[in-house]
Structure 1
């Protein structure tokens, strides 16, 4: 199959922002902060394959299959009972179309600083999360069909941006059931002189502990651009990306404080219609460790 020139004519702004989408949906935002010295550390592997690209106008286009796999580290550490530091870092991301070679690299590092506004009866937190563009912002994959053709499949977007999030949570006193609600604003900057639209996100999560062994959860979230993006500014930066996402997950202990987690995520048009995004199921498998401070 020819490495289609229509890939650049039809898909003027394909969101290879899945290097962001895959990693940022690992853990939903909550109103809780960690206790002092308490920690949560997860390593997960996630995979996406899709031929369904939604354009800036929301039109579904069939393309060569795009695939992405990511190995992601996620960690939380309680500096004090009301202040938590969070790191979200794709350690390695592999990107390819079915007609190109696979290219890989580290992703952008997101550091989040979370403070509890209210903690005991009505958990409420605010966080600020700068995303540092340390990933490879330009990485060209050569066509396996025509040696003179190539396409940019970076592992980072090259842009410094800052997420601000307000989140609240609740837990029922007599039933192992919890819920989270959050809203976020992403202040975006620019890459190589091209400015991007800011974004806002909303989301909710519920979870239940089955037989005091398996945690299950369901999540719904949406992302929308603040400004309408009518013209694609760049092929790989994800400007104008919008979607509604939903996911289901489960986790269970395997040895002491070590747990295994499974997650499935997909996208639809329930809240915000899909734009500038490859839409397909994302499967995730993770292992995490929880450190609990000793009670005095």
Structure 2
């Protein structure tokens, strides 16, 4: 079971609310505040699997939003704030003299902005989405802690979904196109869910990201020792999430696991959030 408990922390919280083809009504604002944690991991998926230096706890505090620009077009944004600890390194410095270090870094991750436009809505709903992820992460050369990719990422996707009364299905397919000589990715996924009571939704999902291995970015050796936001990260993830909703406000909770991965932690991620539509 240990080899089946993982998910890439960069994507998990976004899966709580994003990747759906439905757009907001004009003037409506949807906000989701969430917290995601992966605690005390030291082993990563690879070919073969490998152990990193130290034991890392990764926490993400995130604001995700959608605003109805028109009835068919929504503006999308995501602002992650990362708090990462490497708990078991005695002296993380690769350079001398060694400055005082707490083995912890708190900083913004990769902030993203985008647009989603509905293309079709007759039974099935189809939309196109373009997300631009900005190079707003930071890096500590002494600890090797990185809070985001040292790159801009552009993600075009095609989204499709359908409601069946008390159940729904939605899926997405697209690419991550990265700058700074990082490898690009292919991504595909879907989810199915339904109402289990008047106010509770239960949703299962699967999400696959595969690297094209077409980049050879030269990252610092200290960064490679931690495995944080390095090249050719990929995974096949599955998970479960629940939503408790009262009118426009609601609470989300979920976890994720995986059946394969590369350069991602072998540990379960848990996420909690609260949302509202204004």
Question: What TM-score results when the alignment is normalised by the length of structure 2?
Answer: 0.83
Query: Where does the alignment leave 5 or more consecutive residues of structure 1 unmatched?
Result: 1-16, 141-149, 292-296
Name the counterpart of 1:139: 140
Deviations 1:136-186 (CA, angstroms, capped at 9, x unpaired): 2x124xxxxxxxxx32212222211100000100111xx310000110111
Deviations 1:107-147 (CA, angstroms, capped at 9, x unpaired): 111112011110232210001111111222x124xxxxxxx
- Match of residue 267, structure 1, among 251, 254, 258: 258
State how far apart, in whole Å, the 2-side matches of 1:258 and 1:207 are.
19
Secondary structure at the aligned position of 1:154 is classed as coil
The reply to whether residue 125 of structure 1 matches residue 127 of structure 2 is yes
Deviation of 1:233 after TM superposition, in Å, equals 3.5
State how far apart, in whole Å, the 2-side matches of 1:237 and 1:165 are.
22
Name the counterpart of 1:115: 117
- Match of residue 269, structure 2, among 241, 263, 282: 282
Name the counterpart of 2:105: 103
The reply to whether residue 81 of structure 1 matches residue 83 of structure 2 is no
- 8 Å CA contact 2:30–2:277 kept in 1: the answer is yes
State how far apart, in whole Å, the 2-side matches of 1:22 and 1:167 are.
18
- Match of residue 203, structure 1, among 189, 194, 198: 189
Deviation of 1:52 after TM superposition, in Å, equals 1.9
- Match of residue 27, structure 1, among 17, 20, 32: 17
State how many pairs are aligned.
Answer: 250
* CA-based RMSD: 2.0
State how far apart, in whole Å, the 2-side matches of 1:27 and 1:124 are.
17
The reply to whether residue 247 of structure 1 matches residue 239 of structure 2 is yes
- 8 Å CA contact 1:203–1:221 kept in 2: the answer is yes
Deviation of 1:225 after TM superposition, in Å, equals 0.8
Deviation of 1:40 after TM superposition, in Å, equals 1.6
- 8 Å CA contact 2:194–2:202 kept in 1: the answer is yes
Name the counterpart of 2:160: 168
- Match of residue 53, structure 1, among 44, 55, 78: 44
- 8 Å CA contact 1:65–1:97 kept in 2: the answer is yes
Moved over 4 A (4+): none
- 8 Å CA contact 1:258–1:290 kept in 2: the answer is yes
Name the counterpart of 1:153: 145
State how far apart, in whole Å, the 2-side matches of 1:125 and 1:165 are.
8
Deviations 1:1-50 (CA, angstroms, capped at 9, x unpaired): xxxxxxxxxxxxxxxx9562344333241222122122221101110022
- 8 Å CA contact 1:267–1:280 kept in 2: the answer is no
